[in-house]
């Protein structure tokens, strides 16, 4: 079976994990500080705060921003639903903006339509390693004095006009789950250019509301702390990040060359000002040539290829029934027609050829 994703190790992961274990610093420890520091400098932000995963990263930001029941945040109609889910959990209203059908990213124009006096945050998702048009989004947000959060869980290393994903808007969040571009098993990071007061709040909410004095809880927080053992893996992955990027680029180009001119398939589009580090190879299937996507996924599996469907749009998720979703035309279409092909750094050329051959064997003429 060719899996859809697989974590790969590139250098010092084992050595650093052993070092962390041997040091007995397995909760807090120096790998955490080094990982945060190196990550922060990589994305050119001011502060980096490691957390347990990409979902708690978003949760912490909402808490530290003081978002509360009745507030609204704008989120994309197509993308991993973490930002909307945490909003829902906290009583914050997720207001969905439609995405572009070719880039799969939320557009400034669609965000603008959804802003009102209750809007407290705009979350953009750089889906599958692509990046949203941040210049126009940030321009609109600045006019209304609304902060922008880049959910960069799928786009670590991608660049927009030479600037790193997550380091451009007010706040960036990342995930290091096993399928991600760099991994710590489970893990996440928040980066922010906002002030130290905000950063200290994030850190306190990460640690049960404790600031300096041990056991003195300023507010009821969480334990969202990454461990030193996880940070050891992350630090090792970061050291080899340029190698990881190059491998991902080669895999992307191999797929692209085999699939770019195939009738009935549309590849995700990347604008000229974006240098993506692609997370997965996403294709929009034309149902006339590839009917019943979910069946196709099952059939591919019987041939030894694991693929994934695109994200469910909120209009197709009962938990979002009470929110307005009928305007999400592009999101709904993508949700039904996107298929994602296997993508990980140790994927071999002949495996890519096999994936493509298998996919095309199901094409109707």
Ligand X SMILES: Cc1ncc(COP(=O)(O)O)c(C=O)c1O
Residues near ligand X, by CB under 6 A: 53-55, 79-80, 82, 125, 151, 153-154, 175, 177, 188
Under a CB-based contact definition with an 8 Å cutoff, are residues 114 and 105 in contact? no
CA–CA distance, 272 with 118 (Å, rounded to integer) = 35
Nearer residue to ligand X within complex by CB, 60 or 153: 153
For residue 128, the minimal CB distance to ligand X (Å) is 9
Nearer residue to ligand X within complex by CB, 71 or 151: 151
For residue 5, the minimal CB distance to ligand X (Å) is 11
Q: Which of 41, 118, 120, 127 is nearest to 79 (CA)?
A: 127
CA–CA distance, 18 with 7 (Å, rounded to integer) = 19
For residue 138, the minimal CB distance to ligand X (Å) is 19
Nearer residue to ligand X within complex by CB, 36 or 358: 36
For residue 352, the minimal CB distance to ligand X (Å) is 23
For residue 153, the minimal CB distance to ligand X (Å) is 3
CA–CA distance, 289 with 318 (Å, rounded to integer) = 30
Nearer residue to ligand X within complex by CB, 55 or 307: 55
The three-class DSSP label of residue 214 is coil
Beta bridge partners of 110: none
Under a CB-based contact definition with an 8 Å cutoff, are residues 100 and 147 in contact? no
**Which residues, 6+ apart, have CB-to-CB distance to 218 below 8 Å?**
204, 209, 210, 211
**Which residues, 6+ apart, have CB-to-CB distance to 146 below 8 Å?**
115, 119, 120, 121, 122
Nearer residue to ligand X within complex by CB, 176 or 252: 176
Nearer residue to ligand X within complex by CB, 165 or 175: 175
For residue 125, the minimal CB distance to ligand X (Å) is 5
Residue showing the smallest CB distance to ligand X in the complex: 54
To which residue do tokens 């489970």 refer? 186
For residue 48, the minimal CB distance to ligand X (Å) is 16
For residue 279, the minimal CB distance to ligand X (Å) is 8
Residue 356 has phi, psi (to 5 degrees) of -65, -45
225-251: b or e for each residue (b if 16 or more CB lie within 10 Å)?
A: bbbbbbbbbbbbbbebbeebbebbeeb
Nearer residue to ligand X within complex by CB, 85 or 254: 85
Under a CB-based contact definition with an 8 Å cutoff, are residues 34 and 12 in contact? no
Nearer residue to ligand X within complex by CB, 178 or 258: 178
Under a CB-based contact definition with an 8 Å cutoff, are residues 195 and 312 in contact? no
């Amino acid at each position: 079976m060719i899996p859809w994703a697989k974590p790969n190790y590139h250098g010092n992961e084992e050595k650093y994990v052993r070092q962390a274990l041997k040091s007995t610093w397995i909760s807090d420890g120096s790998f955490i500080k080094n990982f945060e520091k190196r990550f922060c400098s990589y994305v050119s932000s001011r502060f980096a705060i490691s957390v347990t995963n990409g979902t708690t990263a978003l949760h912490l930001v909402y808490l530290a921003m003081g978002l509360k029941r009745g507030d609204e945040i704008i989120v994309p109609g197509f993308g991993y639903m973490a930002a909307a889910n945490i909003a829902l959990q906290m009583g914050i209203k997720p207001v969905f903006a439609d995405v572009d059908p070719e880039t799969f990213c939320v557009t400034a124009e669609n965000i603008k339509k959804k802003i009102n006096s209750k809007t407290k945050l705009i979350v953009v998702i750089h889906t599958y390693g692509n990046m949203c048009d941040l210049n126009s989004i940030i321009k609109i947000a600045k006019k209304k004095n609304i902060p922008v959060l880049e959910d960069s869980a799928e786009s670590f290393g991608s660049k927009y006009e030479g600037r790193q994903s997550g380091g451009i808007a007010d706040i960036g969040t990342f995930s290091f789950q096993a399928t991600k571009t760099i991994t710590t098993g489970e893990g996440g990071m928040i980066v922010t250019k906002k002030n130290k007061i905000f950063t200290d709040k994030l850190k306190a909410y990460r640690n049960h509301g404790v600031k300096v004095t041990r056991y003195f809880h300023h507010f009821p927080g969480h334990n969202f702390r990454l461990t030193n053992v996880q940070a050891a893996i992350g630090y090792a992955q970061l050291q080899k990040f340029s190698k990881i990027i190059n491998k991902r680029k080669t895999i992307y180009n191999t797929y692209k060359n085999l699939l770019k001119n195939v009738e009935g398939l549309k590849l995700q589009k990347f604008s000229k000002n974006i240098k993506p580090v692609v997370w997965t190879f996403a294709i929009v299937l034309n149902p006339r040539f590839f009917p019943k996507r979910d069946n196709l996924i099952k059939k591919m599996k019987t041939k030894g290829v694991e693929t994934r469907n695109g994200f469910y749009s909120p209009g197709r998720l009962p938990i979002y029934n009470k929110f307005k979703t009928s305007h999400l035309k592009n999101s709904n279409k993508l949700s039904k027609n996107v298929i994602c092909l296997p993508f990980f750094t140790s994927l071999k050329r002949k495996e890519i050829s096999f994936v493509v051959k298998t996919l095309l064997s199901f094409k109707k003429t």
